Chains A and B, each alone.
Chain A
């Protein structure tokens, strides 16, 4: 029986975290797993609120209180089934979602009791179910004979493929990288998401009937073929154009784009490097990371692990107003990253290579229309922080393909593909056969929102195909 007072009698206990000293030496996940008892007793802290704020806040609206209850009862496989009803990659979201801003941030108990450890339980459910041999049950699925091409094996594409295959439609997923996952594999460092997680997921998907065509670039010609060969096409190609600061010195050697850096590190770790020079090491370097999002944190912490002499992170707002997960900031700080808040870069200085970053101090002005407070420069506050390497993590913009136009795939003024949810066939683009979702539609966003988009697109495709 559930204990109505568990949430007071048992405090929030996160799974153990490895000590910083040990974890900076390896590219391994820093959080340990729950054991069965820990998961059950933490899950029982859930009040099953009349308004499930967690589920409301969750971008894919996971049935959180329901699977927490199942975990408490020890019904892991049913919890896994339920978890997969709304989410194609729950074990990934359990690891990389900024829960403190989403489900756990909205949790009723987050006011003074400590939120339920939703993320860790989510991860526990699927990990445990997989370990126990559980696989999604597709025995009742009737094949429809229909095939859909999915371009991009990132979270949006995978989520789309997941929903399609469960409806008896065969998804064929194309990706230019050698492994599935897109940014999950190549962007997110292994200390947050170990690669065997995606490898296991790949095996599961293949077992379900998803076909992967990796190392395959889709260009105009290939796309035209897809349109001919498949009943529909889903585009989930992400956003890869990184934003620039627009200040002098960005072109200096030693200034790197965050994503290039992170990808090179993964390639290095996984042995996907095409040449040794591709590896951009920070060993012994003084690194300055510009930006305050999760990508900036990934850069910070990767640099530390590569053996950087010093890692400094500068961000133009204060700590409270940064966009990244608070948890990640805390982890970075533990691992030795220095933070400079309220600093805005105005120039990267150096002759032939980076020597330092010129920063000005800012203070927050009044909130803008969206409620975020715009930083304003404090006159006369310039300073130069010495640096050997500068990593720019200002975010990403879509990379619209030249062949969109000829196929009637429309984009908006910011280059995002137009594929709205609220229409007859959800996420349909200007080409009736083509659907799109994820970052390329929304702009750079969370993994979990990409999953939502991919799943919605799949619903649209299925309706379009009359399945």
Chain B
């Protein structure tokens, strides 16, 4: 069954699907095939089952498969057996046919016809022998008829041509067949490779495909993949590998890439392909990986080789990398002009039958570890004869002898590694790069042909080009308010920073507002959560770029000097100087045309838009390249087409006409003034934006003397910096690194625009509720124009950000706050009812206000409704950290919730152990990206462990606690330095994809098996799909937060424009979970602006069984909604650490919070009685109890809220199981507990021995949990348990390690070693028989020691990327680290006895590091923002020298590292090569104290 049948009419869209996975490749480097390789690849796949997912039937996997070098002998043999005569040159295809034989016959016929048209001959069809019993019930439902087609090439056709003809024939057949036959799919059709894939678990793959057991099936290359899809109705065709590649991760930019592939399809020209026949090149649906595969296939078919093709599609970061050579940079820059990066977490393995290769994305967000084995019996020598390379998401996926290991390593960010099985060569990343850069003189081409606008405009012309007298009309027409001038423009101009605000957005969304709101307000920014990570654009600036390219695009298949002739600008935000220079260039290459967006008031908007599009098309056809869409020519008798409508419509139209890549859209507009507005324009296709009104406003501010005398040029410059920063933030929250990938990607959800508007201007953007149509938008313009030209109407004051009389409605306006204060203080329910009335009867402000609970139901008596004590446990307080809140407020909340039987949430700031076990303990402990104070004792003192993926106020961004709020207490609990600001990274560095989340959930369940694990998400399109994935990752609870929640400080545009209302997110999650048969496995909670019992009832009806409250209880404690939380001066003592304010002005009592919740529970019961519902359980999901109201304004009336209350088939309405138990039972860990428990209980310690494999994950966590539960974090440090282990440890080795647990591992380990470690010791050293050098070999994976607060990690080898990220206390020694080492570190000591990657110490504010820098390259590799480096050879540094020596001595003693021993022996020689790395803010003498304490 396909998904639309389950979910029609609801909020789900197929394009929301996400998938992540485990992947890998194996190859005989000398190209000699074997059947052993097939077996081992399948076994290896089986050892990564935990990276995939299993359906509700327990058997259907989300898909796995193999893509192998064509097993020539086997195919000939089975063809022969089937009576098929293969020619000297033949191809085999794996074809999924419809089970309807008529359709299958038709498909065969068409494919045959197309192949014959290409001059090829179909030799025959072979039924592939399968065993359907290997499939689960879900998979069987859609099982296709699987056949192999054998195609013979005419004699003399060369292999490349044969391959191309196969491609063309297949494309033509697909175009004919796929619209009508959903099953028809060609898994592979090639003379070089063959695919076996299906919807089974890895262990069942050879059961299902009997061919795989045939000893004759021999190959030299296997690419393999195991999928984790977010839904439970995976499709056969979407199993991987695809025809060229397998992909682990997610292409964040997919929508932009797909759109551009259509636009660019018209620029591709190669004599090798009939382009019209094969277009569209890329599937617009299916998975991102599928589309990427399509594009790669098209490039290859067009004659490109896999190396250029892959580097073009997924380039490394090159713009800001100082260490990259000029020639290589020129290669990437040249190629960047022809295609935007396919960006996002990506580990890609591919093969064309000869090469097997792997590429990682620029940020290295997926792991890829390799090992090269010299097979037993192979002769030793320099060549790779007899060697097998295995590369996979994990190391240790099959067992081998240590002495056979030739080399081990990992792929680093942005690298490509390949094996040439034809020539038995290993192509290391630098080999690949060197080969590419020297193919053509790119550098010479670039310097000759590229123009850089930044260089041409040496002096910025920043004079004002808007007449002062006219300014007021422009300001009114384009809705500049005093509030905006004050709160948005001034901070940008003053500091180059977006202003920060607190307490979220409590105003209605644009479509619900009664006021004219800017069109941009209908667009909600999307952001990455769970299936992909956001990026930190500040600390990881190195991967980011706003560089923008103008001029006609060229044909990327041709590499020639003239194709470098483009115009580059550093940012799409144009100054006046650049804008005018751009228009002045002219010539045939840059001819420009200005298109006026103002039209006679007698015309209608839709016609005006069509007219603008026609003019644009005509201009491009006439050879114009730069289209300037300008709203500057306003007049009293004209109206203006909004620049965004025009940009979207022109972009769509040009794409449609195949002209988009011949032109650039430059928008000269008054409408763009804040970063969000720029982002929307660019997201819908603008190449660059000239914000002339914003500039004019800044000139005005300067004229008025409102800017402290700063010169205008400086103001404008810092304004542009601020916008650029804002753009970085917006694209990075979607995990996108370059603006070229963001342009045209339409990464927004539209809430409140009619279908006609969306289809004309914003086609294919998610828009589920309809709303304002062209008439409404035109009315807005008329209204604005009327006031703008009326001189007596002043500039509007504002009111969108803060409450203002007669301004926008605010849900926490003074009346609401005042009545609530009165009610919780008096404890009088009548007072509460007054509050409830103010809220429940407000003008329509939220979506739920348009949903009325039905009044025509037979009520029941209140006494029949379940008791308050049944309802209160469903209430939680939302996560607000101690740090954001004062200790008094935080504890009052905890006491109140505990007394009520609900739960309070610690937030992300740790918790004082003194509160454990008392009524001040938070029962929900949050685990957020900063991991502040997350220790084993913290984790075991909880009923719920909540992973905060995102928060409503600023999804996709990390929190920040200003230095003034970090006092002694906060610093102690967060393991930080008082007075130093604390940064939470935007992503969890251990969650870059869904299988990573599954791993974190597993980590938490290991340390505290009794706790429920909760995952907090923010509503956005697709959150339901993500929720399904989260449920499959074994979460017990899911929270869906609305955009309006959020008490923390965040940039104003994030507060206002990111995230969606919870009504949408909750309904979607409930619908998708039900349709996937997962609703019974997880509890669903919602939060975000819940205020009254009526809110609770509506939330329950939309699918929630638990309810979170953030702002409400804060107000109950005395908060007056001052929105100054970020300043530490909260006058109510709620959100401050200031002593005076807390002690003298905080009036909150637990009783006030208790009153608040009891009132809500009481009101909830009253509503339930009115609805005739006896219990919450009866209420959840009862959408029939809601009716949709008409709406109060024309555009409210045009909203279609039916999808919100759509009925979706499904079994459960709420969770019925006590917990969601993982498939992986962790048997080894349980065995360890059985063995060690007596030693823990009696605190006696002891030594134990075990063998481990990569499937043994989170080893040690179970024991650490048991230790912490009994003795706290460090209580057993004196009598440690020592585990002696051999083998390859699975992910999260030593996670949450407690004091008193020492693990000594002979072997190696995967990602997350020592994550969240609080004490104890982890020692990892290579097996004794190893022959490789430890200081050249990766021994532990990525993100080790993330969030560690103590303990020791000694590992004799290299560590992966992001080593010791957010470390706040652990001591570590390794022999080298990858990129971003010690990022955000706040404490501890890291010694690196070898090279580091780039961006070392970004955001590091505490602790110290020693780095051995033998090649003097460290200076270019560390991040200069917050740290400085010192030599330690001098006399004054003696204490450090002695300390370092001691550190290395201990390291050698524990690990036996030969490299360590060498360094000690030559200590006085290497000493001068060491750097001491410390935060700039810390003095050398302070550090010494820290060292002594740590020792």
- A interface with B by C-beta (< 8 Å): 4-5, 7-8, 47-53, 55-57, 61, 63, 66, 75, 78, 85, 106, 108-109, 111-113, 140-142, 166-168, 462, 467
A-B pairs, 9 with minimum CB distance: A50-B1123, A61-B805, A167-B792, A56-B814, A4-B1129, A49-B1122, A4-B1127, A51-B1121, A50-B1121
Residue of A nearest to B794 (CB): A85
Q: How far is the CA of A221 from the CA of B1144 in the complex (A)?
A: 66
Q: How far is the CA of A113 from the CA of B1120 in the complex (A)?
A: 14
Residue of B nearest to A106 (CB): B814
Contact A63 B797 (CB under 8 A): yes
Given the known inter-chain contacts A7-B1131, A61-B806, A462-B792, please indicate yes or no for A51 contacting B1141, CB distance below 8 A: no
Given the known inter-chain contacts A5-B1129, A75-B706, A78-B704, please indicate yes or no for A50 contacting B814, CB distance below 8 A: no
Contact B1121 A47 (CB under 8 A): no
Given the known inter-chain contacts A51-B1120, A52-B802, please indicate yes or no for A112 contacting B1145, CB distance below 8 A: yes
Q: Which residues of A contact B804 (CB under 8 A)?
A: 52, 55, 61
Q: Which residues of B contact A51 (CB under 8 A)?
A: 802-803, 810, 812-814, 817, 1120-1123
Contact A108 B792 (CB under 8 A): no
Contact B813 A75 (CB under 8 A): no
Q: A56-B803, A75-B705 are in contact. List 5 more A-B contacts (CB 8 A).
A: A51-B802, A52-B802, A63-B797, A66-B486, A113-B1131
A53 shortest CB reach to chain B, Å: 5
B808 shortest CB reach to chain A, Å: 13
The DSSP consensus for interface residues of chain A is loop
Q: Which residues of B contact A7 (CB under 8 A)?
A: 1129, 1131
Contact A66 B1131 (CB under 8 A): no
B1118 shortest CB reach to chain A, Å: 9
Contact A49 B1129 (CB under 8 A): no
Q: How far is the CA of A145 from the CA of B810 in the complex (A)?
A: 41
Q: Which residues of A contact B1141 (CB under 8 A)?
A: 8
Q: How far is the CA of A112 from the CA of B1132 in the complex (A)?
A: 10
CB within 8 Å of A: which B678-719 residues = 704-706
Contact A166 B792 (CB under 8 A): yes
Q: Which residues of A contact B1128 (CB under 8 A)?
A: 4
Contact A66 B482 (CB under 8 A): yes
Chain B, 1137-1150, contact with A by CB distance < 8 Å: what is the 0/1 string? Answer: 01011001100000
Instruction: Name the residue among B814, B1144, B1145 with the largest chain A CB count within 10 angstroms.
Output: B814
A50 shortest CB reach to chain B, Å: 3
Q: 30 A-B contacts, Cβ less than 8 Å apart?
A: A5-B1129, A7-B1131, A8-B1140, A8-B1141, A49-B1124, A50-B503, A50-B802, A50-B1122, A51-B817, A52-B802, A52-B803, A52-B804, A55-B804, A55-B805, A56-B805, A57-B814, A61-B806, A66-B482, A66-B797, A85-B794, A108-B1120, A108-B1122, A108-B1132, A111-B1131, A112-B1144, A113-B1131, A140-B791, A141-B791, A141-B792, A166-B792
A286 shortest CB reach to chain B, Å: 44
Question: Does B669 belong to the interface (CB within 8 Å)?
Answer: no
CB within 8 Å of A: which B1097-1153 residues = 1120-1124, 1127-1129, 1131-1132, 1138, 1140-1141, 1144-1145
Contact B797 A142 (CB under 8 A): no
Q: How far is the CA of A56 from the CA of B803 in the complex (A)?
A: 8
Q: How far is the CA of A113 from the CA of B1129 in the complex (A)?
A: 13
Given the known inter-chain contacts A56-B814, A108-B1131, A109-B1131, please indicate yes or no for A50 contacting B791, CB distance below 8 A: no
Residue of B nearest to A65 (CB): B802
B1488 shortest CB reach to chain A, Å: 34
Contact A49 B1123 (CB under 8 A): yes
Q: Which residues of A contact B805 (CB under 8 A)?
A: 55-56, 61
B1044 shortest CB reach to chain A, Å: 14
Question: Does B1196 belong to the interface (CB within 8 Å)?
Answer: no
Q: Which residues of B contact A48 (CB under 8 A)?
A: 1124
Residue of B nearest to A462 (CB): B792
Q: How far is the CA of A8 from the CA of B1143 in the complex (A)?
A: 13
Q: How far is the CA of A151 from the CA of B791 in the complex (A)?
A: 26
Q: Which residues of B contact A167 (CB under 8 A)?
A: 792
Q: How far is the CA of A141 from the CA of B790 in the complex (A)?
A: 10
Please tell me which one of the listed residues A5, A52, A53, A168 contacts residue B792 in the complex, with CB atoms under 8 A apart. A168
B676 shortest CB reach to chain A, Å: 20
B801 shortest CB reach to chain A, Å: 8
B343 shortest CB reach to chain A, Å: 37
Q: How far is the CA of A167 from the CA of B1128 in the complex (A)?
A: 45
Contact B803 A47 (CB under 8 A): no
Q: Which residues of B contact A168 (CB under 8 A)?
A: 791-792
Question: Does B191 belong to the interface (CB within 8 Å)?
Answer: no
Instruction: Name the residue among B792, B1120, B1127, B1138 with the largest chain A CB count within 10 angstroms.
Output: B792
Q: How far is the CA of A56 from the CA of B1121 in the complex (A)?
A: 14
Please tell me which one of the listed residues B791, B803, B1138 contacts residue A142 in the complex, with CB atoms under 8 A apart. B791
B323 shortest CB reach to chain A, Å: 40
Question: Does B502 belong to the interface (CB within 8 Å)?
Answer: yes
Residue of A nearest to B503 (CB): A50
Q: How far is the CA of A55 from the CA of B1129 in the complex (A)?
A: 21
Residue of A nearest to B1147 (CB): A111
Chain B, 1399-1434, contact with A by CB distance < 8 Å: what is the 0/1 string? Answer: 000000000000000000000000000000000000
Q: Which residues of B contact A47 (CB under 8 A)?
A: 1122, 1124, 1129, 1131
Residue of A nearest to B806 (CB): A61
Q: How far is the CA of A78 from the CA of B814 in the complex (A)?
A: 27
B824 shortest CB reach to chain A, Å: 15
Given the known inter-chain contacts A61-B806, A66-B486, please indicate yes or no for A49 contacting B791, CB distance below 8 A: no
B721 shortest CB reach to chain A, Å: 20
Q: How far is the CA of A56 from the CA of B810 in the complex (A)?
A: 12
CB within 8 Å of A: which B466-511 residues = 469, 482, 486, 502-503
Q: Which residues of A contact B502 (CB under 8 A)?
A: 50
Residue of B nearest to A48 (CB): B1124
Please tell me which one of the listed residues B486, B792, B810, B1121 contacts residue A49 in the complex, with CB atoms under 8 A apart. B1121
CB within 8 Å of A: which B808-846 residues = 810, 812-814, 817
Q: How far is the CA of A141 from the CA of B1128 in the complex (A)?
A: 45
Q: Which residues of B contact A63 (CB under 8 A)?
A: 482, 797
Residue of A nearest to B803 (CB): A51
Q: Which residues of A contact B803 (CB under 8 A)?
A: 50-52, 56
A322 shortest CB reach to chain B, Å: 22
Q: How far is the CA of A5 from the CA of B1138 in the complex (A)?
A: 10
Q: How far is the CA of A166 from the CA of B791 in the complex (A)?
A: 9
Residue of A nearest to B1125 (CB): A50
Q: Which residues of A contact B817 (CB under 8 A)?
A: 51
Q: Which residues of B contact A140 (CB under 8 A)?
A: 469, 791
CB within 8 Å of A: which B1194-1222 residues = none
Residue of A nearest to B469 (CB): A140
CB within 8 Å of A: which B401-456 residues = none
Q: How far is the CA of A204 from the CA of B818 in the complex (A)?
A: 40
Residue of B nearest to A168 (CB): B792
Residue of B nearest to A9 (CB): B1140
Q: Which residues of B contact A50 (CB under 8 A)?
A: 502-503, 802-803, 812, 1121-1124
Q: Which residues of B contact A467 (CB under 8 A)?
A: 792
Residue of A nearest to B817 (CB): A51
Q: Which residues of A contact B1129 (CB under 8 A)?
A: 4-5, 7-8, 47
Q: Which residues of A contact B813 (CB under 8 A)?
A: 51, 56
Q: How far is the CA of A4 from the CA of B1120 in the complex (A)?
A: 17
Q: How far is the CA of A51 from the CA of B1141 in the complex (A)?
A: 19
Q: How far is the CA of A5 from the CA of B1131 in the complex (A)?
A: 9
Q: How far is the CA of A78 from the CA of B706 in the complex (A)?
A: 10
Q: Which residues of A contact B794 (CB under 8 A)?
A: 85
Q: How far is the CA of A166 from the CA of B790 in the complex (A)?
A: 12
Q: Which residues of A contact B810 (CB under 8 A)?
A: 51
B374 shortest CB reach to chain A, Å: 67
CB within 8 Å of A: which B1066-1080 residues = none
Q: Which residues of A contact B469 (CB under 8 A)?
A: 140
B807 shortest CB reach to chain A, Å: 10
B967 shortest CB reach to chain A, Å: 15
A161 shortest CB reach to chain B, Å: 14
Residue of B nearest to A82 (CB): B482
